[in-house]
Chain A
Amino acid sequence: MLAVNDAVCRGQPGAHAWLLLAGAAYPHIGHLLLGRFAGRRAKSILVIDGLFAGAVIGAIGLFSAPSAVLATISMFNWTIIGGPSLVALGMLAALVGIAFSGAQVIMPVITDVCLAADALAALVLLSYFFVLARFMYRYIGELRQQQAELQAAADAADQARAIADGALLGVLPASAAATLAEQGALPPVVIDAATLLLVEFAWSRGESPAVADLAECFQVCDTILNRHGFEGIKTFGRRYLAMSRAAGGPDAAVAAVRELNNYLLDHRALVTAPAAQRAVRAILHCGAVTAGLVQPARLNFELLGETVEALSSLANLAAAQPMATLVASAAALRKLKSSAGFAATPDGASSSLHVLALTAAP
């Protein structure tokens, strides 16, 4: 604009050659379009920008169209870069630039600014906003894409978190998982008076259960035993091992197994595989156990001790008992408030087994 003004309107081409050179080298556009406007960098850009704008405005006079264009663009840039509070800094810099350019601050309107310069100023202004609009459009598009990607990543993280939580619960008992998560470690614990309950599911025709059917059995078992104060430790095959630390564990176990048996019988007509009748057999034993991670890296949670070995032996002996029974050890029987209904094994196979026939629903 300055060159046009000098050459066409004033007949002095190259009168402000130094300013042209400086303008060509000025990194304003590059900074505006590609730079990051934050902190001290933004302020320094504002100062340089203000000095340049002031120098040019001073050189061509305050009240010309090109000056107005330059002032508009500068104000716009300063607002975007620095916000209203930093516009003052830009304006201050501009005043210094004006003074530096030849002290034409008090100069009246330049009469030798002509239509060509005004037209060029308008063209520059239009071009500037066109470029800016394109840039903003592209920049906002990128922002939107980044936001969508972030949202997708957050959703994926949520999903992964839910899966991880589920997996942790699947591998570890809930209380152990919570301890591990909250304390970062799961030290071994000795439980002096634990009640162990091993629940075994069977299907009337002896066939292998459908996965969904077994899953439903385990879920129901989980819910009922939880309500009766038991915590699921692990499952293996069709067996489910649970433990209670409560003093009334043995009585709660009897009530829970009765309810579980009744539930399966009550809803045999409504199950996934109606043809197959499900039944339950449970083994109950009490004693001291040690609970902890045997292989921490694999989150292998185990119950250890004589009590667990004894439960395993009882399970082998109880295999000869019919389904819909609860087999209790002598130690468990002693802790029950009432041992009514329990009988020594019908076949006399072991004096340590006491069998309770679970009441069948009609």
Chain B
Amino acid sequence: MTAERLPVNADVQHLKGYADILAAALAQLFGDLDQDTLQSLLACVGLTRLRVGDALYRQGEPGSSLHIVLTGRLQVQVAMADGSERVVAHPQPGDAVGEMALFTSAGRAATVVAIRDATLGVLDRAAIEALVTRQPRVFHTVTRMIIARLTGTQGHILGHRRTRTVMLVPLQRGGPIERFAAQLRQALLRFGSVLHLDARAAAGRLAAGAGAEYGRLLDACERDHDFVLLEADALPSAWSRTCFGYADHIVLVADAAAEPAVTELERWLFGAGASRPAAAIDLVLIHGPAALPSRTRDWLAPRRVKRHHHVRADDADSIARVARFLSDNAVALVLAGGGARGFAHLGVIRALHECGITVDAIGGASFGALAATGLARGLDDPQSFEEQRLAFSRDDPLGDYTIPIVSLVRGEHLNRLLQAHLPMDIEDLWLPFFAISSDLSANQVRVHERGPLWRAIRASVSLPAILPPTLEDGHLLIDGGILNNLPVDVMREKSRGPIIAVDLAVANAPGAAPAAIPSGMEYLKSRLLPGRPSIEAPTVSRVILQVTTLASRKEVDSARKLADLYLNPPLGGYDFLDWGNMRDIVEVGYRYSVPQVRDWLRRYPQHRNRTDFAAAWRRNLAA
């Protein structure tokens, strides 16, 4: 796209109030300039406007001008040898770009695009050469600056760009946006100062003289506040377009009971691309007091949404979750696989709740994925426990043994059980959720975050040789623990907040190292004949189960470093197939986690979201 060039005038009136910021930027670039020189330079500055997504220039192009950001924000990206692009800087108002090509006469060293609607001051080579001729010491200042930039001392290598400006897009007229915006504003206050602007409030600020145009107004708002909430109009308007051009994060807000079709405002804002450069798009679906999420896939199908949130109307807890995601404070939980040891996850989750941590996103592999479904569906701790207890003690999910050609168990019992208990889609879960399976056909990890929940869990728990693999899109899927038993890396890609990882690995598993390997007959005799001491042996099923987690042990070790809190309950006394010891295993997970979590919260108290006094009373009474 082409930048719109404004005419250059002889005096600084043409700079429309940008003279101050330009003067400061020029002083930073060229050192102290006398008044005459500065005025003559300002007279040479032209103005250029970019719309979000426009490229100012591309890497390798010849450069004949430098640019100073006056409003908005740019992104500097460099093409790497492997064809990828690395973002190296986000110039903001007052920053200069393009000066290196100007002085080195080489092509542009990077591509610069607008990630917000931006206004730039432009200074041509001729004006700068005239300046250097007039004041040769300028050259030294510029040389120092270029060397500093080339050696990286100006901090141009970027990490994550924090969300500052959030656009709220109502998908229905007269919908729940106003109330939601007010509640989100209050929820965000926990993490920093917040300014909430709608069209009327913004117009009021403009009229009060805060700035001559929206760009300067919004830059000033962002400077003074940690978060700026821009509430767009429900119909296409200049204000809505301004919000769109300025947001770091776009949140579509809809009444979940409405029709999920793409709205006129969305078509107008996003065009055919249904996205916006450098801005993540979230969808918030607001449900009635008793409604359960459904049809979410119909909402997601026509939109390019990074994440969606289910929120109960006027429910402070669920709105606070959205605020935690927007402010990178969402607490995510990753649960490892480990057969019956996975019951410990229920104890860990109970401990987290009692210590005041609200889990905002959850995922896992194998039994960890199964244990995560209770929380993701909104069940409380006793409900989750009871469901799993009944499933494993009454329904015998692995009881349909068969001739062991494909697997030891047919898996029909488990299929029926999962279909009965988990009939919903993953998108309809209250919490963001994923399950991991291992794709045998492609030899890679598969992340299940859409589609039928029961199929994802079935694939994730398909222990090789014990349960038959599942088939999806022509690919054979088996237990997720084979390739990634503790998928913290997967969660890290989805959530920038703290991650709590629960590993079930044990150093000395029962039967893993017996004194001697008995024959099958000896083992059977020790089990069946009275009066004989019980012999531990590495049985077929036990060895297979051990192998499933051994394979991904290396990945687990690196995942451990990515986690903010790593929990590894002492489950050495329990076997992979210890389904009968559910209560004990849950209790081990709980007792181990409470002191660990409390210690972690002492260091990071901002992640304590609520106080469970009743639990504290219970602990006190028990003590």
Which A residues fall within an 8 A CB radius of B?
Answer: 154, 158, 161, 164-165, 168-169, 174, 177-178, 181-184, 216, 219-220, 223-224, 226-227, 259, 262-263, 266-267, 269-270, 362
Contact = CB atoms under 8 A, between A and B. Distances in A.
A165 B611 contact: yes
B292 interface: no
Interface in B181-223: 181-182, 185-186, 189-196, 198, 200-201, 204-205, 208-210
B186 A158 contact: no
Given A223-B189, A270-B196, A362-B209, A181 B382 contact: no
B270 interface: no
Given A164-B614, A266-B195, A224 B189 contact: yes
Given A224-B189, A269-B200, A177 B613 contact: yes
B611 A178 contact: yes
Contacts of B196: 266-267, 270
Interface residues of B, number: 31
A158 B380 contact: yes
A165 B185 contact: no
Given A183-B620, A362-B209, A267 B185 contact: yes
Contacts of A177: 611, 613
A258 to B, nearest CB: 9
B619 interface: yes
B467 to A, nearest CB: 27
B210 A184 contact: no
Contacts of A183: 620
B205 A362 contact: yes
Contacts of B198: 269-270
A270 B382 CA distance: 41
A224 to B, nearest CB: 6
Contact of B619 (A169, A182, A227): A182
B620 A184 contact: yes
Given A223-B186, A263-B194, A181 B200 contact: no
A345 B467 CA distance: 80
B395 interface: no
A154 B382 contact: yes
B622 to A, nearest CB: 12
Contacts of A178: 611, 613, 616
Contacts of B205: 362
10 contacts: A158-B380, A165-B612, A178-B611, A181-B620, A224-B193, A263-B189, A269-B198, A270-B198, A270-B201, A362-B205
B607 to A, nearest CB: 14
B604 interface: no
Contact of B613 (A181, A259, A270): A181
Contacts of A270: 181-182, 196, 198, 201
Given A164-B614, A177-B611, A269-B201, A182 B620 contact: yes
Contacts of B191: 227
Given A165-B612, A182-B616, 11 more contacts: A154-B382, A165-B611, A181-B613, A181-B620, A183-B620, A216-B186, A219-B186, A220-B186, A227-B191, A267-B185, A362-B209
Contact of A174 (B200, B209, B611): B611
A159 to B, nearest CB: 12
